[in-house]
């Protein structure tokens, strides 16, 4: 017998996409290193929050952009299995191409669940990242 009125909740995917600026400006003042470090440090926290919310399946992808844009992590990957490969900086800022790649994916029906985009660029200070409120709100 279910302990929850109305039965068990279905697992809902949360698609989390990192959008990472890898342009030349990110090579200045250790910004690309800060970006890589921030993401690596966020992963265990994201895994903990996902573990605490069994009805949320956190799926992670990443887009990188500089002279062009491409998927850095192309397949939605469960946060439990997610590993970050460091990015390097160089080139110009093709942010529009990156956003276009993500927008194309949003047309696919699977994305009608929850979505979180995190844009990391040279004019933002990369510091502590928290996804608890996003996952908890599912």
Please check the confidence at residue 138 and state whether its pLDDT lies above 80.
no
The answer to whether residue 112 scores a pLDDT higher than 50 is yes
pLDDT at 121 (0 to 100):
55
User: What pLDDT, on the 0 to 100 scale, is given for residue 79?
Assistant: 96
Angstrom distance (rounded) from CA 86 to CA 32: 9
What does the domain layout of the chain look like in residue ranges?
20-136
Structure tokens at 110: 């699977």
Task: For residue 2, count other CB atoms closer than 10 A to its CB.
Answer: 7
Q: What confidence tens digit (pLDDT) does each residue in 56-100 have?
A: 889 999 999 999 999 999 999 999 999 999 999 999 988 889 989
């Amino acid at each position: 017998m279910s302990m929850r009125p109305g039965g068990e909740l279905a697992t809902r995917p949360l698609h989390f996409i990192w959008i990472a600026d890898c342009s030349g400006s990110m090579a200045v003042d250790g910004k690309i290193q800060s970006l890589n470090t921030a993401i690596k440090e966020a992963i265990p926290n994201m895994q903990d929050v996902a573990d605490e919310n069994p009805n949320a399946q956190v799926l992670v992808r990443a887009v990188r952009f500089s002279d062009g844009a491409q998927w850095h992590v192309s397949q939605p990957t469960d946060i439990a299995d997610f590993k970050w490969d460091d990015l390097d900086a160089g080139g110009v800022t093709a942010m529009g191409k990156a956003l276009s790649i993500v927008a194309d994916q949003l047309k696919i029906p699977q994305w009608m669940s929850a979505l979180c985009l995190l844009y990391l660029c040279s004019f933002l200070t990369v510091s502590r990242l928290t996804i608890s409120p996003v996952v908890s709100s599912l």
